[in-house]
Structure 1
């Protein structure tokens, strides 16, 4: 995935200040009616069609790719449109709905491949936003939302009862603590890299760790605990629940007792015969993120006017009475101001569970990327070498902090170190000019497993000590180019299969070594060294006002990586995590 943001948290809770999807859709529908009316009048005046003729003779054919959970409802809506001869500009709309996993569509659109469909309804904005910011992706234009469904924690009755459901309410952090504290409370999820449900829940859980003592370690530990119990999709994770109430089923360590699940998925599970135990649903009291089912036009410049209008007309049907009834029967919310008690009950919810409370604040866009970045390096394990600028300019103060650039950089690196597990391989170089004879760089800690011990001292402790010992070199200049080439050669030669491999370079200046390789020669050599079969993206971070973002972008892109810019070194940790997500998306595309 590329860039990610939390789906619009358009829940029923009054604390959510944003416009609600239904109101946005209604507003757009009003504008559309005016547009359609004007277009229809022009078509009649121009003799493009005759009033009274059968609209089926010239129907506009539209294909919609939809998330598997909402696809059946949209198919029923398409049938309704055909049966009632619903028209757009006087022509019938003939809509075909195909079920496609949202992450698969996002990967395809993000790579620029022709879509084969005119509209897309994923389960969350995270997928649309990920596509819209990918260079070379097909254009995806959001037009509204067709439904919503909050994400909670669904449990088999025995687990729910042990936690006091429904009378006792929990925050996301408390539910996470319960899953890590008690082996009998086995929490599963759909893979956050493939499921918006899993990703939004993980983001809420990771967010609760931010700002707390040991928060980074706690978030990584949670991801590590969750990772063995993930499934590829929301439908597959339901198959990990016990099928009956027998003691053998409940005690089977392979079976999950609880899942991150949307309200709609819980309702479908509870309503289906042969799916095993019914589920009780916890709605965390600090708010539930929403799946928000955006409706997006795909590759709009290539769509004809008729196709665009027909697709939008189909979207507005979801806001009309029959469309809302169809969606509600399938377990979706269509009006967050009026939450159906019957729907909540079928999904396994019951008062005093706060089923009408949305997340109190929309989670920042960067929070979703950071959670996914933590997930990527925790689940896949990482091999990362950090290369840190130690030139004299790193002694410059960071305004408003009372600390130098190096001080703040060290703190950010120590924060990042806390998010890695013992299985991750991390190393450290520093560079300036002529640090080791004619070399502009020095290897401080070779890249090894954080759990490895040498002389009784674990790699994590060695790195922490080396980070703390970093100091600017008096009168030292920035030997950027030679260092980058040497470090990238080492990173590619040490490629570890099955891990996320990357080189992270931090600099606060431009290359100042007149005897070094040129930038053009460096970029050429990096392109030769980069191997798509064994990707090692360079994540180059320009720190402070003296660094050149364009320079680090050009250098990093030669490896499939990215150049980033931060004005405050304390942002480094977040930037690294977000860059990891983007690098992983490029390797998938």
Structure 2
């Protein structure tokens, strides 16, 4: 875009790690800018948007909730607008900026809390939050209109730690940086909680993507997440407080302090600018690319805004894309142009050549990959107790379209993939079901739910589960005893509830109930509602596999427990769906 046009991102498009995937955002932003900016452009042409005029007889107030990192820059830009009589339709802009933790704003919007509409615009640090709100049909609407600044994410270290790793000449991938912090007792890595920090979440996603390309990558990613979970903070601001108070003193060896942090370039810049000592943080930029915070500008509850408020919001966003607005953002450590990497900013943030500070990931992370990383994190931090219940009816031998494998073959592979992401502290069990496969019962317990790290007769629970998953076979001519199995598995999971863990039943079926002598669907739902206990939550995660399964029915059954139903047309999607369901269940706790 031109430097004085309505901004729809930075000069070469969106700056965020997923700017190429947000088609719905682009459509909404295009419609918004077309409708509102048309009037703004006409006003400019007619002289209604006068600059430097006396406009305070008529003002338009705009309230903005902003991520703490960018709030100071936006406050300065708001003051600039007041000092220079920046106008919208002839009225002076009176912009009030409030710093608010982004995850709290997102939660308020999704919960439709009253305070969520106390502002007209929102500038979070990442489009991850906007996407999450937009994906929730029950939330207050947000309408993205562009991106105002970006900042890459790297690993900042105290000088002695950086020097020991060869900074600035030696470069590392994400997994290599995580690896050195896991193998050194004197180098502790801290981060913002990925469930509350986009910086932590985007770094974890990138790490998981990189690790996934190597043998045993899923296990490595889960192990890294587990180690990281021991040293997380609620916010990026709080994680900075975990650094040694004196970067050159003896306290840097304090095991309670972190010597390395996952941090944005702008956060490192701000820290170094305000540090009392001369020992600034040094910054590693991973050679496989640094994901970026993209700071979207979004209108909140746009249908209920007045035309003056909507135009004022776009006018302020336009100001941020103009020369003086960009100057303010750059002064605060933000990048404002994808074509330029300011060497001075990099140096003040702790970067030096030949650190690859221009590198971006090979491709942006997708919504699915981000949800998978967050699901892995949720399970890793809380630890899980999952009873996996797998349909073994004869229809599971049907081929998956486009492959030479059966539904059961692909289901087993997905379960083995999921198993690799769990830690020794997690508890997993396996049931299979068809109809009357264990006397009069429609189900059989293959591996009781237990801790993966426990050993019995020289074999771990993980080994037993891996073997049991691999040995799953459809029952010849077997039908689907869905209702009785679901009730039995849920009763057992509630009775064996483990406090402090994420307890759930994961049910996979490719059909509908075929046991005429079983409990009815209405009876099953009534029983589940009786058994479900909000104080001991055990959501049922019901996954319909293939075209013959009834997702609507499964969702109705699962919702009786606080869980959710999901449909997968390809069993290879099971792993991602489990993690997505874990995140959804965690959001409702």
Instruction: State the TM-score, normalizing by the size of structure 2.
Output: 0.91
Residue correspondence of structure 1 range 178-577 to structure 2 within 5 A: 178-246=180-248, 248-274=250-276, 277-577=279-579
- 1:27–1:82 Cα change, 3 Å: farther
Query: 1:345 Cα deviation (Å)?
Result: 0.7
Match of 1:35 among 29, 39, 51: 39
**Secondary structure of 1:68's partner?**
coil
2:79 alignment partner in structure 1: 79
**Does residue 1:107 correspond to 2:86, yes or no?**
no
Higher RCO, Cα 8 Å, sep 6+: 1
Question: Partners of 2:363 and 2:216 in 1: how far apart?
Answer: 24
Query: 1:433 Cα deviation (Å)?
Result: 1.1
5+ residue gaps, structure 2: 1-9
- 1:138–1:25 Cα change, 3 Å: closer
Query: 1:233 Cα deviation (Å)?
Result: 1.1
Alignment RMSD (CA, Å): 3.1
Instruction: State the TM-score, normalizing by the size of structure 1.
Output: 0.91
**Secondary structure of 1:501's partner?**
strand
1:4 alignment partner in structure 2: none
Query: 1:487 Cα deviation (Å)?
Result: 1.6
Q: How many aligned residue pairs are there?
A: 575
- 1:9–1:371 Cα change, 3 Å: farther
Question: Partners of 1:254 and 1:173 in 2: how far apart?
Answer: 23
- 1:282–1:442 Cα change, 3 Å: same
1:91 alignment partner in structure 2: 91
- 1:26–1:503 Cα change, 3 Å: closer
2:4 alignment partner in structure 1: none
**Secondary structure of 1:96's partner?**
strand
Whether the 8 Å CA contact 2:54–2:85 is kept in 1: the answer is no
Deviates more, 1:472-481 or 1:240-249: 240-249
Deviates more, 1:257-266 or 1:436-445: 436-445
Deviates more, 1:27-36 or 1:232-241: 27-36
Question: Partners of 2:479 and 2:188 in 1: how far apart?
Answer: 54
Whether the 8 Å CA contact 2:16–2:291 is kept in 1: the answer is no
Query: 1:347 Cα deviation (Å)?
Result: 0.3
In the TM superposition, what whole-angstrom CA distance separates every residue of 1:194-253 from its partner, at most 9, and x where no partner exists? 111111111111111214321221111111111111111111111222222456223222
5+ residue gaps, structure 1: 1-6
Query: 1:66 Cα deviation (Å)?
Result: 0.5
Question: Partners of 2:326 and 2:123 in 1: how far apart?
Answer: 16
Question: Partners of 2:16 and 2:427 in 1: how far apart?
Answer: 45
Deviates more, 1:319-328 or 1:211-220: 211-220
Query: 1:545 Cα deviation (Å)?
Result: 2.0
Whether the 8 Å CA contact 1:67–1:99 is kept in 2: the answer is yes
